[in-house]
Amino acid sequence: MTDPLSISTSAVALLAACRSIGQFIATLIREKGPDSTIDALRADVDSLSTDVALVRDNRNTTQSSSVQQNVNIWKRIETEQHDCDKTLRELKDFLMPLRRDVRSAIVIQLRSETVQGLRARISKHQQSLHFYVTLIVK
């Protein structure tokens, strides 16, 4: 069976990663000004953060009998969290060197296929986690 503590701990770590990336994006917006690409990335990370918090909150409040009944869903959530963590690490690794780039180069980098692919994966993780939480809450 999935370990409740590991799912909760993973959710807390994912929230911290989302917060860190969100703060970096907010800094970009302050320094560069509004940009639709940066705003979209920020919205994706914020949406993911919301659904990760739902996972954390539901895992902490779910009765053990309900956990037993939904063990397969919780296993999928655990796998999704692991994949999500990998995606966020890739995004952070991609973004951090941009701190040294000139501002015009940042937007070019953020519109790259790499970031678009990472955004798509973040959106997929958010949608999957949201779906799984919906199943658990019913």
Confidence (pLDDT) at 2? 64
**What is residue 71's predicted lDDT score, i.e. its pLDDT?**
80
Instruction: Tell me the C-alpha distance between 11 and 69, whole Å.
Output: 21
pLDDT tens-place string over residues 7-22: 888 889 999 999 999 8
Distances (CA, A) of 19 to 34, 52, 69, 71: 19, 12, 32, 29
**pLDDT tens digits for 26-52?**
887 777 777 787 788 889 999 999 999
Contact 49, 18 (CB under 8 A): yes
Would you say the pTM of this structure is higher than 0.85?
A: no
What pLDDT score was predicted for residue 35? 74
Report which of 138, 112, 133, 126 is spatially closest to residue 60, judged by C-alpha positions.
133
Note the pLDDT tens digit of each residue in 60-75: 666 555 556 778 888 8
Residues 6+ apart with CB under 8 A from 30: none
**36-61 and 4-32 are packed helices; what angle lies between their axes, rounded to 10 degrees?**
160
> Tokens 């180069």 sit at which residue?
105
